[in-house]
Chain A
Amino acid sequence: MHEWALAEAIIAAALQIAEKEGLKEVTEVTIKVGELQQIEPDILRFALSQLKPASFKGAKFRITRAKTELKCRACGHMWLFKKQELDESAAEAIHFVPEVAHTYIKCPKCGSPDFEIIKGRGVWLENIKGAR
């Protein structure tokens, strides 16, 4: 349940934003999840529902997925991350710390491990709606 720790971070960050924006009640929280970290949306949603504070009582958690784009710094090739191309232990390691992708993934064109994660790395808070 690595998702639980990330859910705690999402709630803490959302509470800080709600407080800053003077929201007494939060009605919707939108979270973007990059494919690289392989977060299970159902587990994340369950953890969020268990952790939500009173001011989030009626809040809906919208979770959107983002594809992971990688770009080779050596040859410029761009490609999409595909979990099924990794063995189970490598996929699990990347789930915990996405940066170890540099250990297990190489540019499919030139073989370099020096690539950039352009987008779709991990968990982002995208939007919060609520009532003042």
Chain B
Amino acid sequence: MKYSSEYRDAGAAQGYAQEIRRITTKPWTIMEICGGQTHAIVKFGLDELLPKEIELVHGPGCPVCVTPLELIDKAVQIAQRKDVIFCSFGDMLRVPGSEVDLFGIKARGGDVRILYSPLDALKIAKENPTKQVVFFAVGFETTAPAHAMAVYQARQQGIKNFSVLVSHVLVPPAMEAILGSDSNRVQGFLAAGHVCAIMGYDEYIPIAARYKVPIVVTGFEPLDILQGIAMCVAQLEEGRYVVENQYTRAVPEGGNRAAQHYVKEVFCVVNRKWRGIGEIGASGLSLRPEYAEFDAELRFDVSGYTAEESPLCISGLIMQGQKKPHECSAFGKQCTPEKPLGAPMVSNEGACAAYYRYRRAELAAAGKV
């Protein structure tokens, strides 16, 4: 398939692997930010192609994984109301809340729908004027523009029965939280290509300089990732630490200005709780006061609710690159995709799910789980 098969070429992959082996002289720990990259690495076995000196650790870039438990509980509380049509991206439905997930609410008769675009939720709101239509607006900078557009259009069109439950998070503050931690092991980053396609990469330049870490904006296909690793290792070996762009076919330096405009129009930067990690200052987005009428937390009066996470789940350590999924005592035992303790075991992009799906048998054979 065009734009995909050429980035999965075996010969070229071996070529990049060889180049990485050639330039590597010391051990390096590199974090890929995005869960999509984690899955590509594990699915295609890219780490098997690397020299043993290179360790890849998996970052916090999975929107499903970092959405705090209490927000899932709030979603559940709203979704079980008789007057609500609760709309969400598919991944979120299996994420466990304190008692039940959204699939459970659907099984109990709640009107929970999987959508591909928040704009479809607006259409549903127009078609169901007697119902309250709520969209679960989770994600990083990648999904923020579409959510902003839905809220913007709702106001333009005077759609009163539409609201969003917002849990937006931002990548750069999370990177700074990881780098600023005493136990940090990360020496270089592969930044998430899709996030940068929206935001550009200006905001990474001061981070690279302040913490002296190379940051390579990287795509998601096997060759993208191998090339990103090669660029990152080259910088580490040469003692350089700048922002470079591997994903030039999708990421212009300034990002997508129109998308950024709508994000700024509708959202403002706030402190956010990250599941398993805790609160990070200025790390999320919330609706601006002018758009407060579309805030589902206010509309359904769930803003005061809080919840405690399972002490068994070490997802926070995994998403900060301090532990690998199979180093968790619950991995594959109390925690499986059928009965997950934490979101990383659920999501298409979760590190635990990636290890469970692609590595479990090998780990078991090696006596590691």
Q: Do A and B bind?
A: no
